[in-house]
Structure 1
């Protein structure tokens, strides 16, 4: 399998390293909702989506889910191979948010490559730093921002990703993304509806006033 186009460091590998990677990588299909990685005890390997979308999230002691970030085609998921990353000391779950076709690289192979290749090690460190920046941004949002602004930002960002004003999301799914309780999200969505920002329906939310949501989101909204 030609995996070179998906790996920025491919051109700096030796032929032997390229052969090892090509022989180790496999292509997998994960139906929507599949739990791909269940944390540090479940070292699946590095995942690179070719089609679809993945979600990385934490599971709190109270059993609530908190979305850290999503991965799109071409973005490498490191947390699904946490056993290869010595600095990861917490459990990150990874699920298929959509039907996803992906490349899977066994963790031991990638760990060996990091130890023998400076470009791979540098790439991994940069990617990990970027992911931790995402996590720190999220923690700041949770600690310093109100739920209404976070919810508004989530709805706007979902609308951008889906390319539509109608989001097929239940209140429970939204609460899981935000690490909140479904009842709290439902109350907030009903308030949004009373303000003319959204329209609620069975199993979905329609965005009526995206600019109003953007104003409410403020700096909780990530840059486009």
Structure 2
């Protein structure tokens, strides 16, 4: 499918606005592990995912990572164009978690259309509200949920995304997603293994008991 099928408010644009986007739009294919946007160093533009998976995260002063949210097919990222949104005061990094195809709308082009088009402005505000809710949910998890529950939730999310109980993932990667230390995650996973919830092997975590993990995350 073409860009028009992925951009929710395409049919709300006038002919001139459609032409402006079409003429400035760029398609990109990135390999897993590619950094697409790097904080204040970039004003990449708006990213619209055609296929693949992106991860948006922040870095602490000590270099620890924590995932804010992920982007999948047909998702759009606004924070990669934070230079056009003065209210955004924090820096994010965006990385491809899988080989990804995406489109990039230049930030200034999108800004000009957003100023002219009420449907685009409304869509942008709704998208920002959704991302804000994602971040607030994350803050609640960090503040109020113990690490065992957060690890359980992460493993369940991964099995859902990947469609398998055999997760090819390192302890370091899990730590980066959750804003923790690798050693802490390793101890937690070993405890899960002792309890029969998972099986650990090199760069792989196999989920053995989904129901008990679901019970744990809700308790």
Same fold (TM over 0.5): yes
Partner of residue 66, structure 2: 66
Residues in 2 aligned to 1:191 and 1:39: alpha-carbon distance in whole angstroms: 36
In structure 1, C-alpha distance between the alignment counterparts of 2:23 and 2:123, rounded to whole Å: 21
Tell me how far apart the structure 2 counterparts of residues 87 and 196 of structure 1 sit (CA, whole Å): 47
Contact kept, 8 Å, 1:170 with 1:204, in 2: the verdict is yes
Alignment-derived partner of residue 140 in structure 1: 140
Residues 191, 2 of structure 1: CA spacing in aligned structure 2 closer, same or farther, 3 A cutoff?
closer
Partner residue of 2:187? 187
Aligned length: 219
Query: RMSD of the alignment, in Å?
Result: 1.1
TM-score normalized by the length of structure 1: 0.95
TM-score normalised over the length of structure 2: 0.98
2:7 — aligned with what? 7
Matches of 1:12 and 1:49 in 2, distance apart? 20
Deviation sequence 1:58-91 (CA, Å, 0-9, x none): 1111211000110001000111111122211100
Q: Which moved more, 1:2-11 or 1:68-77?
A: 2-11
Distance in 2 (CA, whole Å) between partners of 1:49 and 1:8 is 13
- Asked whether the equivalents of residues 2 and 22 of structure 1 are also in contact (C-alpha less than 8 Å), the reply is no
- Gaps (5+ residues) in structure 2? none
| Secondary structure of 2:74 counterpart | coil
Shift of 1:2: 4.3
Unaligned runs of 5+ in 1: 220-224
